[in-house]
Amino acid sequence: MIARLRASLSSEVAALCLVIFLADVVAGIIIPSFSLYARDLGVSLALLGALNTFGGVTQLAASIPLGVLSDRIGRTHVIMIGLSAFLLSMLAFAAADGAWMIALGRVLQGIAVVATFQIGAAYLGDITEPGQRAVAFGSYTTAMGLGFTVGPLLGGAIADEWGPREPYLVAAGFALLAIAFARRVLHEPPRPTHGVRPSWYRNLGLLARQHDLTLVALGNLLTSLTFAGAISTFLPLYAQESGISQATIGTMFAVRALVSSAGRIPNSIVTRAVGDQPVLFGALALQVVVLFGIARTDDVLLLTMLLALDGLAFGGYLVAGQTYVADHTDAEHRGAAVGLYSALGSIGGIAGPLALGLVAQRWDVHAIFTVNGWIMVAGCVLYLVGTLAVGRRSFPRRETHDGK
């Protein structure tokens, strides 16, 4: 396993992973203090929720345009735009004296997330061969998970020691470090030329007709709906109603993050061995088990184990989904394809909290997990039927070497 990992991790891949780690430290630093900081500035709870939704809408709106742009001007230029947007968003948060600067920071952060992490995945597809990609994407997503683990720990400690505004200044410093490092180590790979490129809207039309990619993107929507809707938004309330303390809830989510991060490279090895589709479908099926399991227990140990399983499933889909998109596109269309994949994930992240919030209002928080579980059952059936309908000809890994 170690030899296989080393063979798949070139210096370019390792450099990209370090850039992504630094970027996710920036994204994670603000997690512990953002809501409290916004409330101290006079932002109401209703407006705070709207600002968070606004950030998701920005990601949805930016996904396809930034993907298409990266196909035109190159991945590294768009990644630099993303890192710069992270820097500007942290400075906007640090300088905020009211809701409008918070809103500006959220818009910039939404652009930054797409331009950095989404286009980073497309860049990773460009610099790797099909046989390397499963482990490379496992390493990439592990770097994301580790950054998003370190960031909140660092941000919480800084906020406790110096106050809620200081974490944003430290995050801006990390963003500057990421920009300087990325300028030095990221280099645009050469692309093959095939004459006149088709228009961007024609490229999107061609990608939309690749039904296997559509199915994989649908799975990303379902996974995002589950995590952003049931798990991250409502499980803390469900646990609190069950008498679980906030400190314990935080520990439960930390366990989920660690299991998710630790499982991504092993998931990539499994993906390489058995193929993307079994891992993708298995991850969706495991989330069904998690949701129905949560709906039937309030035991803290069982809930922690179920959260760990959800982290494993989330990480498995993240690795296999990104690998599948990279393997089944070429360099001229990969940015647009990753944009479509990310856009559907953003739809799930926006629709999940809104739809499941209506379920909680109509019944109670407990009903959320049962309803979400049945949505996932329907999604799994649709995914399986779609896979069989598309046929075996669409799913074998296509050896796209991108002219290398």
Pick the CATH number of 201-394 from 1.20.1250.20, 3.40.50.300, 3.30.60.50, 1.10.150.120: 1.20.1250.20
Nearest to 350 by CA among 118, 57, 110, 111: 57
Residues in Cβ contact with 322 at an 8 Å cutoff, skipping those fewer than 6 apart:
121, 124, 137, 140, 141, 338, 341
Question: Under a CB-based contact definition with an 8 Å cutoff, are residues 92 and 101 in contact?
Answer: yes
CATH 1.20.1250.20 residue ranges in the chain?
1-184, 201-394
Q: What is the pLDDT of residues 193-211, one digit of tens each?
A: 555 454 555 555 555 567 7
Q: What is the pLDDT of residues 271-300, one digit of tens each?
A: 888 888 899 999 999 999 999 999 999 999
Mean pLDDT of the chain: 84
User: What pLDDT score was predicted for residue 338?
Assistant: 87
Residue 78 pLDDT greater than 90, yes or no: yes
User: What pLDDT score was predicted for residue 205?
Assistant: 56
The residue ranges of DSSP E strands in 103-175, in sequence order, are none
**Tokens 């399986």 label which residue?**
384
Q: What is the pLDDT of residues 18-45, one digit of tens each?
A: 999 999 999 988 876 777 788 788 877 6
pLDDT band per the 50, 70, 90 thresholds, residue 258:
confident
Q: What is the pLDDT of residues 329-379, one digit of tens each?
A: 887 778 888 888 888 888 888 888 878 888 888 888 889 999 999 999 999
Question: Under a CB-based contact definition with an 8 Å cutoff, are residues 154 and 27 in contact?
Answer: no
User: What pLDDT score was predicted for residue 397?
Assistant: 44
Residue 226 pLDDT greater than 80, yes or no: yes
Q: What is the pLDDT of residues 136-158, one digit of tens each?
A: 998 998 999 888 888 888 887 88
Question: Under a CB-based contact definition with an 8 Å cutoff, are residues 64 and 343 in contact?
Answer: yes
Question: Under a CB-based contact definition with an 8 Å cutoff, are residues 111 and 58 in contact?
Answer: yes
Could you give the percent of the chain with pLDDT greater than 90?
37
What is the C-alpha to C-alpha distance for residues 247 and 351, in angstroms, rounded to an integer? Answer: 28
Report the phi/psi class of residue 402: left, alpha or beta, with left for phi > 0 and alpha for psi in -120 to 50. Answer: left
Candidate from 36-50, 81-95, 309-323 with smallest mean pLDDT: 36-50
Residue 124 pLDDT greater than 50, yes or no: yes
Separation in Å, CA 66 to CA 150, 243, 266? 28, 44, 31
Question: Under a CB-based contact definition with an 8 Å cutoff, are residues 368 and 360 in contact?
Answer: yes
What is the C-alpha to C-alpha distance for residues 188 and 300, in angstroms, rounded to an integer? Answer: 48
Question: Under a CB-based contact definition with an 8 Å cutoff, are residues 326 and 334 in contact?
Answer: yes
Question: Under a CB-based contact definition with an 8 Å cutoff, are residues 301 and 244 in contact?
Answer: no
Question: Under a CB-based contact definition with an 8 Å cutoff, are residues 8 and 136 in contact?
Answer: yes
pLDDT band per the 50, 70, 90 thresholds, residue 123:
very high
Cα distance between the two ends of the chain: 26
Residues in Cβ contact with 271 at an 8 Å cutoff, skipping those fewer than 6 apart:
134, 138, 279, 316, 319, 320, 323
**Tokens 């039937």 label which residue?**
296
User: What pLDDT score was predicted for residue 276?
Assistant: 85
Cα 150 to chain centroid distance, Å, stands at: 16
Q: Which two tokens stand for residue 356?
A: 């499941």
Question: Under a CB-based contact definition with an 8 Å cutoff, are residues 67 and 335 in contact?
Answer: yes
Residue 115 pLDDT greater than 90, yes or no: yes
Q: Is 71 exposed, middle or buried (0-12, 13-18, 19+ CB in 10 A)?
A: buried
Question: Under a CB-based contact definition with an 8 Å cutoff, are residues 58 and 107 in contact?
Answer: yes
SS3 391: coil
b vs e for 139-161, b when ≥16 Cβ sit within 10 Å of the residue's Cβ?
Answer: bbbbbbbbbbbbbbebbbebbee
User: What pLDDT score was predicted for residue 202?
Assistant: 54
pTM of the entire predicted model = 0.80
- Architecture of domain 1-184 in CATH? Up-down Bundle (1.20)
Q: What is the pLDDT of residues 61-73, one digit of tens each?
A: 999 899 989 988 9
Q: What is the pLDDT averaged over residues 162-185? A: 93
pLDDT band per the 50, 70, 90 thresholds, residue 403:
very low
What is the C-alpha to C-alpha distance for residues 69 and 401, in angstroms, rounded to an integer? Answer: 22
